[in-house]
Chains A and B, each alone.
Chain A
Amino acid sequence: MTDIHVDCTINGEQRSFDVPRSALLLDVLREHGYTGAKRGCDTGACGFCTVQVDGDPVTSCVTPLAAVDGATIETIEGLGSQDDLHPIQAAFVERSALQCGFCIPGMIMRSKALLESNPEPTEAEVREALADNLCRCTGYKKIVEAVLDAGERMHSSPVATDGGSGTVVTDGDPGTEVSQKPTCKRDRSHQPSSGDHE
């Protein structure tokens, strides 16, 4: 199969790929270390692989890489860090709007696209926007609350609301998870910053 050449920007970084014409965006992302986007169905039906292409949410598992030539791609890796979360990420953590986490990167990218185009969505608009992003663990309630909360956070303060200290991940040995927590004390208890939305 003949290779094609694709230039694009991923999280602000210029990237070039020579790949088979059939290559899909999700596969290329994951092969190159952007493993935050997850493979859930290979048919664009679950939303776990959602990334932003020129601001729009797309399911990368059904997007040919050829279709993003010249495009600006944002993945979950381009948002905040554990020490400096993006407001949407902070809202998901603080509202316990996550369990297994497999759908969360896609859910956050979809939410980010929503809040960029509609900074103050109603609950119905949030539910409509997330209708193609499945979650098996949460019943969606806390996710919807987190997105509404994130909208308010982004509206009131464009700067990340997190205190600054976070978890340092040192996954040195494959398969063994060891997280080293910082020793500074910090209140991590559940403190919703706005009222209950349901």
Chain B
Amino acid sequence: MSTPDEPIDQTEADGEMRSETAKTPGHESVTSSVEKYDGRKIVTGEAKYTADYRNQFPELAHGTIVRSEIAHGFVTDIDTSDAEAMEGVYAVLTPWSVEIPETLYSSSGQSYPEPSPWDMRVLRRHVRFVGDPIAAIAAVDRETADRAARALTVEYDERAAVFDTETATDPDAPRLFADDEVENSQTGADYSRNIESAFGGEIGDVDAAFERDDLDCLELELETPYQSHCVPEPHATIAYTDEDGRHTFITATQVPNHTRRQLAHLFDIPIRDIRVKKPRVGAGFGTKQEMVIEPITFALHLASDRPVKLELSRQEEFSAVRSRHPMSLQIRGAVTADGELSAIDLYTRSNAGAYGTHGMTVASNVGTKALPLYPNVPNLRFTGDVVHTNLPMGAAMRGYGAPQGHFAVETLLDEIARHVGVDPLEFRRRHAVREGDLDEASAILKDGTRFARRIRSCGIRECLERGAEAIGWGSVDQPPESHLHRGVGVALCAQGSGVAGKELGAAKLFMNEDGSFSLHVGGVDTGTGNDTMFTQIAAAVLGCSPEDIIVTAADTDVAPFDYGSYASSTTYISGTAVKHAAEDAKDRLRYWGSKLLEEPESALETGDGCVYSEQTGESVTLEEIGYEAAYGHDEREQIMGHGHHSTDESPPPFGAQFVDVTVDENTGEYDINKLVFAADCGVVINPALAEGQVEGGEHMSLEYATSGTLEFEDDGTPETVGFRGYGMPRTTDHPPMETILVETHEPTGPFGAKSIGELPTNGVPPALSNAIRDAVDVRLTELPITADAVFEALD
């Protein structure tokens, strides 16, 4: 395993790659747009998501959740008698039911021990936002369950609530957590002031830099809103106990193994007695990196003694589940007169909402993802506070703090460029990260040097160059109308490839007689195409077609361990595990090829469905090997391979987002004419699916910049409860999008690949703010950017 700060001999790595390419005729399967593995069953409606398994359970009960109607207080009593008397009601659970454990836990699907605090119970007596789960019902059908829910009488002891992070940290503010209501090992927690965590890190001496007379300082204060995942498939779980007494969950999750472990902790049952199976998942985007409903579904199953299905409603998804954390950010930079960046100081105050789900870890990523764009700034500081309020909790959402951080860093950089009179594109070209740089910014919050990161691949300048050409940088025509002004903005983007030092993926693979392979892999496909990617990587190693790889994934009884699908980890971590498993099996193919061809293993390669000799050109098909290995006269073997992968590396993919905008100075209204995103994700595995990641990420980023936010009444009651009240862009809202894939080679990645999933969620807010600045000379620092705000700024 390489260490992240160790220089790698690029020539050697490239040379190795080239020889691998030359020797592996199947390699083109990695870089071609192979048909999506599940594409045909999706378009025929045969793909099965959790709720589609309903008809396999004749005794299935339907669950529903009853939620707090107040923002803060205590549930003192729930009268369940009317509900329990209803025909068709199988179970009514309250915080006092024996099936509801007293155990504190975190719902965040993170590695063990979860950094997020253990601060919640399955059903809650102490309620902390409108929407906290307080009771649950299982019944013969959905209508009966909902009717029973309405029949409950709930009594509350209401307490004062707090809805903004400023007031919440006042010593006299209502306190959300008593000391015995939470276990929290994070830094800086101070529940007497509702602070879930506080953190900071510094490189160089920032204060000294800002005191220097020869430097100019620029500062911005920014606000970012809630954003809903708008996950297509609402959270859904079916829980049952099979004939072997094993508790089984068919569930829409990104994290089967974490969920299994956390359920074991919560219900005090051995991990081995739990099976978590992921069917097709209607996307996650982070909201399914949470064990949101599995515990309630299981408690209802225990209480009703039937299989139970629980599906959340869209209203619950918007108002009671998880969202992107709103944040207030301050950023300042110090620059010399000739444009040398001397210092950047970034502070974020994150609104955690009612619970600490990914509270500190998301806020940490505000700085550690965007600051590495400029790793040579000598003085860097990044600090943050994470504060509880009586609003819905933030949690993981695609980008994971990076969108907030990019909004601050990339608008500040734009202001600095303009201040020193340098074209913002040229300024970035000068200062942005380069291959060979040692990036300490990504490790600014960590002790020691273990996670300082050598940048081994970086196509950021090609992203700038090709993106600029596509958007028409410096050459857009102004509209003939004098009140319309056109401008262009750019923002650089970076992310990671997995969590450095906190990942593990594994795969196993065995050969069938016909030359096909069954691949069992822990990696989790939530729709992005990971299963397809796995087949391409395995096929490239084994020399067969991706269609010869049969994937069974993310079932904890069948597939080996994996941390799950989050942090842009799946290609880089799980994909490398698959590559290792395939290489292990390939050794055995060579052995059997050697027997059948009577040539040394060292002369043999795989490709075109064969093992062949590079010396003589003789070959034997994988099918012949498959039969010989299974039914041979003198010797037999199950040809199989095992692989796993863990690393301290997390190479950043890079990108450049461009926005072309026209602003009406009379109204503040603006039209986005075009979006361009140029991405460097290393060697591109399946370009069509990679483009899809960019286009979908930009969609979310566009929403974040222009239209997405959640609204609440003064008492914390959610106003945004459906798609009609939320600004998710539709087909008619999307400007033309152009995607450019800039290929580099990441020596630590599978076939040279880095991640792509989260990168494109980072760019539109800063690039749009920069474009508006370019068009009409005002700086917008609050998201979403509304016409009113532009008009006010112009006034």
Contact = CB atoms under 8 A, between A and B. Distances in A.
B42 interface: yes
A175 B248 contact: yes
Contact of B723 (A30, A41, A93, A131): A41
Interface in B213-236: 229-234
A181 B692 contact: no
A111 to B, nearest CB: 11
Interface string B97-119: 00000000000000000000000
Contact of A190 (B32, B232, B283, B514): B32
Contact of A33 (B55, B526, B700): B55
B667 to A, nearest CB: 24
B445 to A, nearest CB: 31
A167 B279 contact: no
Interface size class of A (residues with CB under 8 A): 35 or more
Contacts of A46: 232, 314, 723
Given A75-B45, A181-B547, A100 B279 contact: no
B230 A198 contact: no
A67 interface: no
B234 A40 contact: yes
Nearest to B283: A100
A198 B691 CA distance: 14
A137 B692 contact: yes
B568 interface: no
Interface string A25-65: 00100110111111111110110100000000000000000
A76 B723 CA distance: 24
B46 A169 contact: yes
A138 B688 CA distance: 11
B793 to A, nearest CB: 28
A141 B737 contact: yes
A132 B730 contact: yes
A99 B516 CA distance: 25
Interface stretch (A2-10, A77-85, A151-159): A77-85
Contact of B692 (A30, A37, A99, A198): A99
Contacts of B691: 96, 142
A73 to B, nearest CB: 14
Contacts of B730: 130-132, 134, 140
B696 A138 contact: yes
Interface in A135-174: 135-144, 166-167, 169, 171, 174
A81 B698 contact: no
Given A98-B39, A102-B233, A181-B547, A77 B723 contact: no
A99 B732 CA distance: 20
A176 interface: yes
Interface string A180-191: 111101101110
A13 interface: no
Contact of B283 (A79, A137, A175, A188): A137
A179 B555 contact: no
A70 interface: no
Contacts of A41: 314, 722-723
B466 interface: no
B431 interface: no
Considering residues A128, A180, A183, which has the most beta carbons from chain B within 10 angstroms of its beta carbon? A183
Contact of B688 (A22, A30, A103, A190): A190
Given A38-B282, A169-B41, A181 B695 contact: no
B281 interface: yes
Considering residues A30, A36, A139, A198, which has the most beta carbons from chain B within 10 angstroms of its beta carbon? A139
A128 B732 contact: yes
A48 B232 CA distance: 8
Given A93-B43, A141-B737, A101 B550 contact: no
Nearest to B37: A179
Contacts of B736: 198
B548 to A, nearest CB: 7
A176 B280 CA distance: 9
Nearest to B38: A101
B527 interface: yes
A108 interface: yes
Considering residues A142, A169, A186, A188, which has the most beta carbons from chain B within 10 angstroms of its beta carbon? A188
Nearest to B690: A96
B722 A189 contact: no
Contact of B44 (A89, A128, A139, A140): A89
A134 B733 CA distance: 11
B699 interface: yes
B537 to A, nearest CB: 16
Contact of A96 (B33, B52, B311): B33
Interface string B10-35: 00000000000000000000001111
Contacts of B514: 183
Considering residues A33, A34, A140, A180, which has the most beta carbons from chain B within 10 angstroms of its beta carbon? A140
Given A89-B43, A139-B737, A99 B551 contact: no
A132 B55 CA distance: 29
A104 interface: yes
Nearest to B52: A35
A95 B695 CA distance: 14
B49 interface: yes
A139 B699 contact: yes
B689 interface: yes
B40 A82 contact: yes
A93 B250 CA distance: 27
Nearest to A109: B45
Contacts of A104: 42-43
A183 B515 CA distance: 9
A136 B698 CA distance: 11
Given A43-B314, A96-B36, A142 B695 contact: yes
Given A36-B45, A174-B53, A176-B277, A166 B40 contact: yes
Contacts of A126: 731
A108 B43 contact: yes
Contacts of A130: 730-731
B151 interface: no
Given A93-B35, A93-B40, A96-B33, 10 more contacts: A42-B314, A85-B44, A92-B39, A96-B689, A99-B692, A131-B731, A131-B732, A136-B700, A179-B38, A188-B547
Interface of B: 32-49, 51-57, 142-143, 229-234, 238, 248, 250, 277-283, 285, 311, 313-314, 514-516, 526-529, 545-553, 555, 558, 609, 687-689, 691-692, 695-700, 722-724, 728, 730-732, 734, 736-738
> Which 5 interchain pairs have the tightest Cβ spacing?
A36-B45, A100-B527, A190-B33, A102-B282, A101-B42
23 contacts: A33-B55, A45-B723, A82-B44, A85-B44, A93-B35, A100-B527, A101-B282, A101-B527, A102-B527, A105-B45, A128-B732, A130-B730, A137-B528, A142-B691, A174-B57, A176-B558, A178-B550, A179-B550, A180-B550, A185-B547, A190-B32, A190-B688, A198-B738
